[in-house]
Amino acid sequence: MNTSHSLVEKIALLLLTPDALVTLSLEDAKTVAGYMSVSQLEPQTVVFQANQVDAASDYMLLVLEGEILIETLSSGDSAVVVNVLGRGHLVGEMSLLDGTPRSATCTAQTDVEVARLTRNHLEKIIEEHPVIAARLLMAIAKRLADRVRLGNHKLLMLSQVNEAMRGEMNVKSRKRPHRFTMPVAV
């Protein structure tokens, strides 16, 4: 790749942030950064669309500057903001690994600069630097595992709230007669 030394350094340092791949060494991150390409996005640019089958989905992005809005559709076809990611955050790691359509829509909220790692470049890293590739993949796997654990925790909390609400509704419904109950003449 033709990424300048200072840009490689900037990308590498951002790869090492807690929101990216903190478990890599600086030298590993510099090697990975050398395979990444940088691009600029204007505000309101759709970075990728959820469930879009015909688009290339085999890359991840590292946000170098700016903010990206992450949205998903709710059951009523309205968008739900999942997160706003800024400098040092990764976007799209799952699709880098499996190439499947995106699970969320991402839109640039500001002027955004991103570094892109494609699956082809990941495969080159695997061929040319297998030890670094193993550490990179382990770092990505750890991020994904952390997200699954967080999702499981949120589901558990929602389940507990749901159970509490059900219990409350059952208590209230036993205290008052049902509105459709008619008195029976004897």
Q: pLDDT tens digits, residue range 7-20?
A: 999 999 988 888 77
Domain boundaries, the chain: 5-149
**Do residues 3 and 36 touch, judged by C-beta distance below 8 A?**
yes
Write out pLDDT tens, residues 21-49.
878 899 999 999 999 999 999 999 999 88
CA–CA distance, 17 with 15 (Å, rounded to integer): 6
- Give strand pairing partners of 106: 48, 70
Q: What is the CA radius of gyration of the chain?
A: 23
| CATH class of the 5-149 domain in this structure | mainly beta
Above pLDDT 70, what percent of the chain?
Answer: 89
